[in-house]
Amino acid sequence: MSEIYNRAQKSLVGGVNSPVRSFSGVGSEPVFITKAKGAHLTDTDGNTYIDLIGSWGPLILGHDERIARAVAERAGQGLSYGLGTPEEVELAETIIAAVPSVEKIRFVNSGTEAVMSALRLARGYTNRDKIIKFRGAYHGHADSMLVEAGSGLLTHSTPSSEGVSASVAKDTLLAEYNDVESVRRLFEENPGEIAAIIVEPVAGNMGVVAPQPGFLEDLRRLTEENGALLIFDEVITGFRNAYGAYQNETGISPDLTVFGKIIGGGLPVGAFGGRREIMNHLSPLGGVYQAGTLSGNPVVMSAGKKALQILKEEDPYGKINEKIDRLEDGFNKLRDRYDLDLSFGREGTMFTLFFNKNVPTTYEEVLESDTKAYGKFFRAMLKRGVLIPPSQFESWFVGAAHTDEDINKILKAAEDSFEEMRESTDCS
Ligand SMILES: *Cc1c(COP(=O)(O)O)cnc(C)c1O
């Protein structure tokens, strides 16, 4: 065991500050990173890795020195004032200009905080208590989002984490992603009680599952018919597939949108925005309370501004798509050669390699994936210097910093890993 992991386990819970970093889902020891450049990470033992985690989404430009310089420059003027700064106005204007449904925005410090605040705003605006979310979707760790389906005949939700009260959980109703009937039923069973639907327009946190044609449109129609708000959680999808939000590609206008990750350029951020009329219900204009000591922090805002500026100027999305085309093609060939139950779940620049015969379209199908085989593959890739997400149920992130050579190396490492996995099954 590495020395730093040993120490970490004594001082940090499980040795980490966020559970997925423990690598416990893939039967490996976690790595501890000291530095990064472009698409490459270096750990405490001096090993280098091609980074396909991308800090879980923010690093679409890779570990970018231009953003780091913008941060250093802004930091020289003071780190925080707890007062307004021009940078927060500028980043707000930038996002509003890129996402037509967003007329006003508020910045917070994480996606979790943004979701929690957007849900409060939706409840305050509609004067209703209940929220619909989709099973397998992740919206951060606010109490009301940590729910699972209860057992038995009643469709009551129960907490999915200790410490979440049953009374909070009961106001979150669970529907099935890509199954509009499950949503319609909840509206029928709870007339006049549902404040909002919250949805990742592309499911990214169960592994990447694309929305089926018409699904998001149906959610828009059902919410309008029932006086509920539609909230798109674009924490991953925002500025991911194209400059702007995923909603721009669909032509659907949600009432509220949640952002995070890319808009902070790699520093801690979250934001929620939407129709002016709804946003004006927030304090200090309205009665829905929301605040934050470090919200809109100028250093964070400068990182976000720089990231969005580069994305707009350089428009790397076509090239990122081409790199993922090559990976998809390469993995399909390896699947055929080694006769593997593999599928490439993808929507634009988001993708997951599923150890699953078919591309999953529902959470139920996602759960049929072979997580043991995924764990083996993860460890085989790690050994070869490629760091894929330490869980089957995550999106992989390829960005502007990955070179053609990186893509070649990833595919070569995959080939060698499948070869090794085949040998180990032959022996057993
Ligand atoms: C990452 C994520 C969040 C939570 O963001 P944090 O900054 O980790 O709190 C919320 N929603 C989605 C869709 C995410 O991917």
Centre of ligand 1 to C-alpha 140, Å, is: 5
- Using a pLDDT cut of 70, give the percent of the chain over it: 98
| Topology match between the domains 2-60+316-427 and 65-313 | no
Instruction: Tell me which residue has tokens 């200790």.
Output: 162
> Is the Cα dihedral 81, 86, 91, 96 positive or negative?
positive
What pLDDT band is residue 155 in, cutting at 50, 70 and 90?
Answer: low
For 235-245, the pLDDT digits (tens) are: 999 999 999 99
Q: Residue 225 Cα, ligand 1 centroid: separation in angstroms? A: 29
Atom of ligand 1 nearest to the CA of 268: 7
**Catalytic one among 130, 133, 261, 305?**
261
Whether 426 has a pLDDT exceeding 70, the answer reads no
- Give the largest CA-CA distance in the chain: 69
Q: Which atom of ligand 1 is nearest to the CA of 18?
A: 8
Rounded to two decimals, the pTM is 0.97
Query: What is the structure's pLDDT at 154?
Result: 56
Mean pLDDT for 393-407 is 98
CATH of 2-60+316-427, one of 3.40.50.720, 2.40.30.10, 1.20.90.10, 3.90.1150.10: 3.90.1150.10
| Confidence check: pLDDT of 420 > 90 | yes
Q: Is 138 a catalytic residue?
A: yes
Distance in angstroms (rounded) separating the CA atoms of residues 99 and 42: 36
| Confidence (pLDDT) at 153 | 53
Distance from C-alpha of 17 to C-alpha of 13, rounded to nearest angstrom: 7
Determine contact, residues 407/392, Cβ cutoff 8 Å.
Answer: no
CA 343 to chain centroid: 20
Residue nearest to atom 10 of ligand 1 (CA): 139
Mean pLDDT in residue range 114-126: 98
pLDDT above 90: residue 83: yes
81 catalytically annotated? no
- Distance between CA atoms of 214 and 183, rounded to whole angstroms? 14
Residue whose CA is closest, atom 6 of ligand 1? 111
Choose the catalytic residue: 179, 233, 255, 406: 233
Angle between helices 404-427 and 371-383 (to 10 degrees): 120
Q: What is the pLDDT of residues 246-262, one digit of tens each?
A: 999 999 999 999 999 99
pLDDT in tens, 310-343: 999 999 999 999 999 999 999 999 999 999 999 9
pLDDT band at 1 (very low <50, low <70, confident <90, very high): confident
Question: Which of 20, 138, 231, 258 best tests ligand 1's pocket when mutated (most atoms within 8 Å of CB)?
Answer: 138
Pinpoint the alpha helices (H) of 226-261: 246-250
* Confidence (pLDDT) at 121: 98
Domain locations in the chain? 2-60+316-427, 65-313
With H, G, I as helix, E, B as strand and everything else as coil, classify residue 110.
coil
Q: How far is the CA of 234 from the centre of ligand 1 (A)?
A: 9
Q: Which of 414, 412, 427 is nearest to 340 (CA)?
A: 414
DSSP run (H or E) holding 273: strand 270-274
Which one of 107, 205, 258, 259 would you pick to mutate in the ligand 1 pocket, going by the greatest count of ligand atoms within 8 A of its CB?
205
Q: What is the CA radius of gyration of the chain?
A: 22
Q: Using CA positions, which residue lies closest to atom 8 of ligand 1? A: 111
Question: Does residue 428 register a pLDDT over 60?
Answer: no
The phi and psi torsions of 355 (rounded to 5 degrees) equal -85, 75
Atom of ligand 1 nearest to the CA of 115: 10
- Mean pLDDT in residue range 7-26: 96
261 assigned to active site = yes
Give ∠ CA 12-57-420 in degrees, rounded to 5.
80
The binding-site residues of ligand 1, defined as CB within 6 angstroms of any ligand atom, are 110-112, 115, 138-140, 200, 204-205, 233, 235-236, 260, 270
205 Cα nearest atom in ligand 1: 15
Report the CATH number of the 65-313 domain.
3.40.640.10
What pLDDT score does 349 carry? 98
Rounded CA gap, 366 and 356, in Å?
A: 8
> Going by C-beta distance under 8 Å and a sequence separation of 6 or more, which residues neighbour residue 173?
130, 131, 132, 133, 155, 157, 186, 190, 194
- Overall average pLDDT of the 116-143 stretch: 98
Rounded mean pLDDT, 268-289: 98
Measure 261 CA to ligand 1 centroid, in angstroms.
8
Q: Decide if 240 contacts 56 (C-beta within 8 A).
A: no
111 C-alpha vs ligand 1 centroid, how far in Å?
A: 4
